[in-house]
Structure formats: C-alpha cells, structure tokens
Amino acid sequence: MAKYKVVLEREKCIGAATCVAAYPERWELQEDAKVSIKGDNVEKEKDLEIFWITEEELERFKESAEVCPVNVIHIYDEKGNKII
C-alpha cells in the first residue's frame, strides 16, 4: 500500500538528471530536458507530477531528492508531513 507522496516541481527542473542517475528505474529525462517520474499512476497537477510510493521505494526516492541540485523533488508521509 502506498504510504508516501513524491512531488516533482517539473517546471523548476534544470535537467541535471542526478535523480535519473540515482534511480533510473523511476526517473527519465524527457525531450524538453526536464525529468519525469516513470509509472502508470503519475498524477499531473499544473506544473507538478505526483506519485504515491511504498516503504520499499522510500530510500531510493529520498536519495533522488537529496542529489537534486535545485531541490524540486519532495516527499511527504501519508499525513502530509514533509520528509525531504
């Protein structure tokens, strides 16, 4: 069951692709030189991409967020508390 929400502020992405290097199974660089979350259940809301993950993926997504040079990847718990 999904417990964590990953939010990508895609418009602010600079295309460094450090998240792709950290977790290539879940991030990909698009033609517009910005990243997107890979997955069937990605919600798009204005300039955001939202994806719910389980505990098993949390550490890899946290690593992706930590290596982002412009801090556009955010992770929240199921109560809405920001983890990173």
Give me the tens of pLDDT residue by residue for the chain, a chain 84 residues long: 789 999 999 999 999 999 999 999 999 999 999 999 999 899 999 999 999 999 999 999 999 999 999 999 999 999 999 999
In a domain, 38, yes or no: yes
Task: Name the residue among 68, 73, 84, 59 with its Cα closest to residue 21.
Answer: 68
Is position 57 within any domain?
A: yes
Task: Reduce the DSSP state of residue 82 to 3 states and report it.
Answer: strand
Is 81 within the bounds of a domain? no
67 found inside a domain: yes
Side chain identity at residue 44, one-letter code: K
CATH value at residue 44: 3.30.70.20
Does residue 42 lie within any of the structural domains?
yes
Q: Does 82 reside within a domain?
A: no
The predicted model scores a pTM of: 0.94
Tally of domains within the chain = 1
What pLDDT was estimated at residue 2?
82
The boundaries of the domain holding residue 72 are 4-76
